[in-house]
Structure 1
Amino acid sequence: MNPETNDRDTGSNSLEITQRTQIKRLPQRGNYDRPLIHQILDEGLICQVGFVVEGQPFVIPTAYGRVDDRLYLHGSPASRMLRTLKQGVEMCVTVTLLDGLVLARSAFHHSMNYRSVVVFGRAEVVEDAAEKIAALKAFTEHVMPGRWSELRPATQQEIAGTLVLSLPLNEASAKVRTGPPKDDEADYELPIWAGELPLRLTPLAPVADPQLSVNVDVPSSVQQYSRSPLETAE
């Protein structure tokens, strides 16, 4: 069901809660602040896109980019997912960041620390040339900040051969878990180690293309690569 929403102040830092975005399971973990939603989207790399084709549900992983309050998807015009979404069908996009494992004194209370975003809506085809190029830049900069300026310009053939869809971030929510395990009170005295095991996405040493010309240094975008949330916070 497409939920009814009221008019809201688009300049607000908080999104309106709708029937679809309201967090029902552990609602204290829910968050509707735009800066947090943007931060999670900017730190993530892969989203899961859910949609229905002829009564069959699909969930497809894909890359994405964000510009202001819009999420962009792109790919080949022959993509079944993009061909379906450009018709304006209802879709759902999710992004999850795993921050750590939460190890309790019982298996029942083991958990994970995470940050996630769920977005609902209908996508639109990007026809405007300037917006399309801005979206393609956003895809590149999302994966590797600073990379766009190091590349040769995209050709008209490449731009024409890429389908770009835009999804407004009007109906979205975040859900976050942080902190230590929450054990049963009687279990805190047990001689069992409990705590958190933080996890981070850390790049290894870059591996050059075997066909790379000699005397080409590793660019600064690669040397300085990081998915740190401090670098994506607004």
Structure 2
Amino acid sequence: MTVGTTERTRVRKGAHKAVKDQEALYSIIDESKLAHVAFNDKRGPTVIPMLAWRIGNNIYIHGAKNSQMLKHLKNGEPCSMTFSILDAWVLARSAFHHSAHYRCAMAFGRFSVVEDNGEKSIALDAFLEQIAPGRSKEARPGNEKELTATEMLVMPLDETSVKIGRHGVNDDLADMDIDVWAGILPFRTVVGPLEPTSDNKIDEVPDYSSAYKGRWHDE
């Protein structure tokens, strides 16, 4: 399904910021990897941040078998997920027009359970490769006990919405002569350098920079 084509994924506020590009959706999810999962259970409306990753057009989350949230979602209860990235502060001449540049994606749907440990292992390896390329071939893989103790859920990205704000400073004409600096204050996450453990036995520092184009600390 195309991004932003259902009634609940249609952007109403700031509709000009709506983006219907599937690759924009994927890039936000892949860069963020932190989803705020919203659902409604016996406690009422709840939002919980979860690590999440994408393989193709599917989104995965995982955790302990006794997780109350995962127990709720594995039954196919409806939920939504939001991924957000802050790119800059917008500093205007008036306090009212201060704002931000951002990218956000939302997905609606229902999760299903990944039962097979082999499928879990493949999905977890894919996650590991996304955060540290080559790592899945170096670290000890999960064993049957660990995989069995892990609850993994998957949801197709079939109903989604993307909103990107990069509008710059939007001052009123009446404020243009105010003697105050106006412009953009970029905000970005910088990744690295790596910090080894005190008992680390490997002298050579691995290179994971390829997973963080434009965000690696020495770029």
TM over 0.5: yes
SS at structure 2 position matched to 1:220? coil
Alpha carbons 1:15, 1:34 under 8 Å: kept: yes
Q: What percentage of residue pairs aligned between the two structures are identical?
A: 36
Counterpart of 1:96, as a letter, is S
Deviations 1:13-57 (A, max 9, x none): x33611110101011101122111001000003110011112611
Change (3 A) 1:106 1:146: farther
Q: Report the counterpart of residue 96 of structure 1 in structure 2.
A: 84
Change (3 A) 1:73 1:156: same
Q: Report the counterpart of residue 109 of structure 1 in structure 2.
A: 97
Alpha carbons 1:202, 1:226 under 8 Å: kept: no
Q: Report the counterpart of residue 206 of structure 2 in structure 1.
A: 219
Change (3 A) 1:115 1:193: same
Q: Distance in 2 between matches of 1:220 and 1:173?
A: 34
Is 2:32 the counterpart of 1:44?
A: yes
1:1-234 mapped onto 2 (5 Å cutoff): 14-15=2-3, 17-54=5-42, 56-213=44-201, 215-221=202-208, 224=209, 227-228=212-213
| TM-score normalised over the length of structure 2 | 0.91
Alpha carbons 1:65, 1:135 under 8 Å: kept: no
Q: Distance in 1 between matches of 2:165 and 2:85?
A: 11
Deviations 1:144-179 (A, max 9, x none): 333222212221222111111001100001100114
| Cα displacement (A) at 1:229 | 6.7
* Mean CA deviation greater in 123-132 or 98-107: 123-132
Q: Aligned residues, how many?
A: 216
| Cα displacement (A) at 1:199 | 1.1
Alpha-carbon RMSD across the aligned residues, in angstroms, is 2.0
Change (3 A) 1:37 1:89: same
Change (3 A) 1:170 1:229: farther
| TM-score normalised over the length of structure 1 | 0.85
* Mean CA deviation greater in 69-78 or 124-133: 124-133
Counterpart of 2:101, as a letter, is N
Change (3 A) 1:145 1:109: farther
Q: Structure 2: 5+ residue runs without aligned partners?
A: none
